Amino acid sequence: MVINVDVEFLARDAARAARRGDLVIVIDVLRCSSTIVTALANGAKAIIPVKTLKEARRERLNKPDYILAGERGGLKPRGFDLGNSPLEYTSERISGKVIVLTTTSGTRALIYSRGARWILVGSLLNAEAVARAAYSIARSEDIGVTIVQSGTNGRFSLEDFICAGAIVSKLPEGNIKLSDSAQASLLAFRYAKNNLRAILMESAHSRRLIDLGFSRDIEFSCQMDYFRVVPIYDGNVIVRGDFRAGLEGT
Amino acid sequence: MVINVDVEFLARDAARAARRGDLVIVIDVLRCSSTIVTALANGAKAIIPVKTLKEARRERLNKPDYILAGERGGLKPRGFDLGNSPLEYTSERISGKVIVLTTTSGTRALIYSRGARWILVGSLLNAEAVARAAYSIARSEDIGVTIVQSGTNGRFSLEDFICAGAIVSKLPEGNIKLSDSAQASLLAFRYAKNNLRAILMESAHSRRLIDLGFSRDIEFSCQMDYFRVVPIYDGNVIVRGDFRAGLEGT
């Protein structure tokens, strides 16, 4: 049995992956998926991704222990508790809380993925953990794996491509068949891996975030395999998946 | 003055590049653009790209010195003189001739590019020559450069991505700004460049061509900078551009 591994470049392509019946790994390195991984690693109970600011506010209504979080144009919307910087999601602030999250690209990719049987959230921070979890589910369910890059404003993003390659590089060898885009991401990751931070700092979205004062977020998000958390999304909420099998630890 | 350099992944994205006012470099390594470069290097007078077999036959009507060429499903259509293998385009067969060419992906990308002010044809065979010509035109006209991958059946193709990176790598340094996709292609090319043939043999389209018996076409098309020809398309015909300035030779 061979597992087909594909990479899609844009949030909206998640729908195609879902139609193929694939397990989907949604990535948005800067910064939505890095934030989700960090939030769950630091004890958040669940994350509810929503599309609009209005939906976010409605979701939180009369729920005092919910946290309103996200960004528009990279910045924390008015009246929100947290922005989209993983560094804000300390255990002091979010442990045991439910986070209602709305971002520009990552949230869209999650919502486009909704038809898929399995939706995991990947980032450089949990590349190996998510790769192993995806492989083990795909093998037992006999389905393919598609890594979906959220992109930036509907355009291809370098940091998500490198992250896709990082996840591909962590898949167990043998019995996997890489699509052309998966191979391409792996080649680029192999060239970039010893110089990740400097290369990712050159992406269009990084330059924008640096201008906005968020360069520490990029540095943080470049730390490969910093966490072993695998977020799993059931179409409503994202929680910490329990994929201890095959992982050295969580 | 900075030249923006972008890479688009699919034939249909050529239209977007044209709308931006960019110079477009169309690539379809396997095999349309490699064939066009080889045909002009071996003395073909001009190439007329057309979309359908019917148009191709109509174009050739009553023109005995026209050659009917192309492929469907990788194979020479019935009644055609030549297929889409660059190795068929020897000077004995095509010198001084006009070639009416219809292929599945490359021809589509050319036709989608029609609105652009400048359309060049690139391949690994002429990577440096086309990069230098594009740079020199873009600088003098103050426009951007977009490399358009034709793809395979509407999907991203590895060989075109590596070729895009090869062309980016040959642009003169300084005063260029690479988009995320251009940077990504460059990273992948840098990793692949010492092992081009083996890596390109792994693409989905290569595997298909190998099955059809065309592995020598892939080997031939991987020869970087084998020709110094720069094909230029005015929306009707493709001829050999005269870009001697800045090139060591032709």
Q: What's the pLDDT tens digit per position in B51-91?
A: 999 999 999 999 988 999 999 999 999 999 999 999 999 99
Structure confidence at residue A242 (pLDDT): 73
Residue A67 has pLDDT above 80, yes or no: yes
| Cα distance between residue A171 and residue B45, in whole Å | 50
| Cα distance between residue B152 and residue A202, in whole Å | 29
Give the chain B residue whose CA is nearest to the CA of A195: B187
Average pLDDT taken over every residue of chain B: 94
Range list of β-strands (E), B114-234:
119-122, 145-149, 176-178, 231-233
Report long-range pairs for B129-132 (Cβ below 8 Å, ≥24 apart): B129/B225, B129/B227, B129/B228, B129/B229, B129/B230, B129/B243, B129/B247, B129/B250, B130/B25, B130/B167, B130/B230, B131/B167, B131/B168, B131/B169, B131/B170, B131/B171, B132/B170, B132/B171, B132/B172, B132/B243, B132/B246, B132/B247
Buried b (16+ CB within 10 A) or exposed e, B177-193: ebbbbbbbbbbbbbbbe
Instruction: Please state the pTM of the whole predicted model.
Output: 0.95
Q: Do A156 and B191 touch (CB under 8 A)?
A: no
Give the chain B residue whose CA is nearest to the CA of A179: B204
Average pLDDT taken over every residue of chain A: 94
Q: Calculate how close chain B gets to A156, using CA atoms only, in Å.
A: 6
Q: Do B202 and A191 touch (CB under 8 A)?
A: no
Give the chain B residue whose CA is nearest to the CA of A10: B9
Chain A residues with CB-CB distance to B under 8 A?
Answer: 9, 152, 155-158, 161-162, 179-181, 183-184, 187-188, 190-192, 199, 202-205
From the list A162, A183, A204, the residue facing B179 with the nearest CB is A204
**Which domains are delineated in chain A?**
1-237 (3.90.1560.10)
Q: Do A9 and B179 touch (CB under 8 A)?
A: no
In three-state secondary structure terms, A15 is helix
Residue B245 has pLDDT above 90, yes or no: no
For the segment A111-126, the average pLDDT, to the nearest whole number, is: 96
pLDDT, tens only, A53-62: 999 999 999 9
Contacts of B158 in chain A (CB under 8 A): 180-181, 183-184
Q: How much of chain B, in percent, has pLDDT values that exceed 90?
A: 93
From the list B187, B199, B205, the residue facing A192 with the nearest CB is B187
Cα separations in angstroms, A41 against A160, A227, B147: 21, 7, 41
Residue B247 has pLDDT above 50, yes or no: no
